[in-house]
Structure 1
Amino acid sequence: MQIWKANNNHIEEASKIFDLYRQFYGQESDIDAASDFLSERFLKNDSEFFIAVDSDGLALGFIQLYPSFSSVAMNAMWYLNDLFVLPNARGKRIASGLLKYVEDFARNNASFSLKLATAVNNEAAKALYEKNGYYKVTAFDHYVLRTDTVTQSN
């Protein structure tokens, strides 16, 4: 397995696996939209997208980070927003390899931390993260406001 930092030269493979990831979460397949979304990320350089590939260069999985900052720590950090491994490639330490890769990436870029969220019922993901050194933070409650669906009142 090799891990590549994806860019527009890898858009076809990246879009295919990103579309499968979105389908895993109940979204309809839309390769064109996936390609447009990733092309924009690559163009704006506002995410880091790494693809694990086999010896033929075919995608096995990917991981995507978004940059952020900790005001209290006054340091850069990364949100591990997406991690996906093809079903037929699972159990081969690809996810652990991707996690180690971004850990090294974050350390080499003087980052304070890697943060992530996962579904409360995703026991396999939680076990994977804990096995790779991540720990659950219980000191904060996290909230969200959907700005695409909330109407503003006067």
Structure 2
Amino acid sequence: MRMFGQVGTRDGDGAGGTVTDEGSGVVLRVAGEADLDTAAELFRGYLDFYEVTVQDAGAPREFLAERIAKGESLVLLADAPGVPGTVGFAQVYQAFSSLTLSTAWILNDLYVAPAGRRTGAGRALLREVQRRAREAGVAGVQLETAYDNHVAQGLYESEGFVREEFHVYFHDLG
């Protein structure tokens, strides 16, 4: 089932696959098969940031390739003006909210490489996820971050995200 296969994309004239964030000049695009190496490099940076050890160096690329091929996630990439290469990525999954009886999106991953920080790339990715969610008729976007990631928390709260009063639990079955 392709969850994100029908999510609209646009370019400067509203028809193609890229959009430029007006405030920062950051160019955003939906990652496709041709972007897998770039997206995987950023994904590895994200995993390193959260101190996740990956035994197989190719696993992040394979994971993204499968999600994209099956339409199970929306992966956005960001290019910042004046910074070489792609500097950020976001990965979104579709979920369902029993409490609202509707669809919700989970912004599972948002990462900007050190060279792209303070360029507006993170904010542009976050805003594009929200724009696409509204366009898709989604009830809301949920995310989580580490307790000590105060920079990310500040960004999320400045963009209207509200800290919920729920505790997140996880039971590792591996």
> Does TM, normalized by the shorter one, top 0.5?
yes
More helix by share: 1
- CA deviation after TM superposition for structure 1 residue 8, in Å: 1.0
- Aligned counterpart for 1:20 among listed residues 45, 60, 71: 45
Identity of aligned residues (%): 31
The alpha-carbon deviation at position 54 of structure 1 amounts to 4.0
Q: 2:114 aligns with which of 70, 84, 87?
A: 87
Q: Does structure 2 retain, via aligned residues, the 8 Å contact 1:68–1:77? A: yes
Distance in 2 between the 1:87 and 1:54 partners?
Answer: 12
Q: Taking structure 1 as the reference length, what is the TM-score of the superposition?
A: 0.88
* Residue 76 of structure 1: aligned partner: 103
Mapped pair 1:36 → 2:57: no
The superposition leaves residues 14-43 of structure 1 with CA deviations (integer Å, 9 ceiling, x where unpaired) of 111111111122234654111111111111
Partner residue in 2 for 1:151: none
Pairwise mapping of residues 112-151 of structure 1 onto structure 2 (< 5 A)?
A: 112-138=139-165, 140-148=166-174
Contact 1:4 1:51 in 2 (8 A): yes
Give the TM-score, by structure 2 length: 0.79
Query: RMSD across aligned C-alpha pairs, in angstroms?
Result: 1.7
1:12 shift after superposition: 1.3
SS of the aligned residue for 1:79 comes to strand
Aligned residues: 147
**Structure 1 contact 65–81 (Cα < 8 Å) conserved:** yes
Say yes or no: does 1:99 pair with 2:138: no
What 5-or-longer segments of structure 2 have no aligned partner?
1-25
2:73/2:92 contact within 8 Å kept: yes
Give deviations 1:50-75, integer Å, cap 9, x for gaps. 00024698211011111101112111
C-alpha separation in 1, matches of 2:29 and 2:51: 27
The question of 1:51 aligning with 2:62 is answered no
Q: Secondary structure at the match of 1:101?
A: helix
Q: Which runs of 5+ in 1 are unaligned?
A: 149-154
